[in-house]
A = this chain, B = another copy of it.
Amino acid sequence: MKITAQELAKFLNARLEGDRGAMISGISSPEDAGSEDLIYVEAAKHAGRAQASAARCIIVAEGMRLEKKTLLIAAQPKLAFARAAARLVEEPPIASGVHPTAVVDSSAKLSAGVGVGPYAVIEAGARIGAETQIGAFCFIARDAQIGESCRFFPRVSLYPRTRIGNRVRIHSGAVIGSDGFGYVLADGHYEKFPQAGIVQIEDDVEIGSNVTIDRGSLGTTRIGRGAKIDNLVHVGHNVQIGEHTIIAAQTGISGSCKIGDRVVIGGQAGFGEHCEVENGSVIGGQAGVLNGKTVRSSEIVWGTPARPLAKFKKQFAWFERLPELAERLRAIEQRIGK
């Protein structure tokens, strides 16, 4: 779509300096921009890139000066740019209408405006809310419930009875509701512990490609409102993830962990069973939180076993100086005789 700088400034609640009638029709990085593309610049060190760009309209922070540009001045330029992008760039539809090849059980309930792509399978008793789009090859098992305005990219699997909120986005290859990893040892072999619970995903969650989320063994695995989960993350049975928590790629969370609200988890982090990670804490990439451990609210932890970052840094600084410490120790021994 096309919009004038003035219309966009109004939409963003930004202050406008320059040509009110400048047309904006897309978004870009400074280097790839055409004259009608919107760009943004947040840090002063990137001002040169913005100045050199062909873009005429630029979202900037208060106090930034650029020559011969139309400026939209916003408190948080990156956030304003994200909102402008949501307005300017229309996502291609995943599915519109129900494709004739989709296999939809007659007892499934599809609300108004639901799209279902080719070869999707929707089993008995499933319910899908208004305006939700289900991509090709998605498998929506029996009695699954999906809210409104969700976007399932092609090839998402939901196991039976999975519950999904509104405006949830799930990327290709994600598996929601598979069996948890629970067995009981009996005379040298393993017997399966029941995996009879469900997964519940709340509103506004986004789930990356090839993510796996296991259902509760006896209860519910829950992903809180607004959580964002990157590609190839594993979430075990009965895990509870709080609201607005963010989990980077390839992190693994073992069964029955409780992760609080607004937690930030780096990539490839690992959590043993029954961990408790309190609200607002930060878990470093590749950190390993051992079974049953607690990470305190707002704490930043690092390493395996995970410990407070400040403590780790002190220890690690000496680890790096170990050859020197050993040499100093040797010198003392030499001096005083062994």
* Chain A: interface residue total (CB-CB under 8 A): 107
A244 B190 Cβ-Cβ under 8 A? yes
Contacts of A142 in B (CB 8 A): 92
Nearest CB on B from A250, distance (A): 5
Is residue A236 within 8 Å, beta carbon to beta carbon, of the partner chain?
Answer: yes
Is residue A209 within 8 Å, beta carbon to beta carbon, of the partner chain?
Answer: yes
A119 B121 Cβ-Cβ under 8 A? yes
B119 A178 Cβ-Cβ under 8 A? no
Nearest CB on B from A220, distance (A): 9
CA distance A81 to B194 in the complex (A): 9
CA distance A325 to B328 in the complex (A): 11
Given A248-B254, A270-B268, A286-B270, A154–B181 Cβ distance below 8 Å?
Answer: no
B325 A320 Cβ-Cβ under 8 A? no
Contacts of A173 in B (CB 8 A): 157, 173, 175, 210, 212
Contacts of A92 in B (CB 8 A): 141-142, 160
Contacts of A86 in B (CB 8 A): 191-192, 194
Nearest CB on B from A309, distance (A): 12
- Cβ proximity bits A207-244 to B, threshold 8 Å, 1 near / 0 not: 01110101000110000001010111010100000001
Write 7 A-B pairs (CB below 8 A) sorted by A numbering: A86-B192, A172-B178, A173-B175, A210-B232, A234-B267, A267-B272, A318-B326
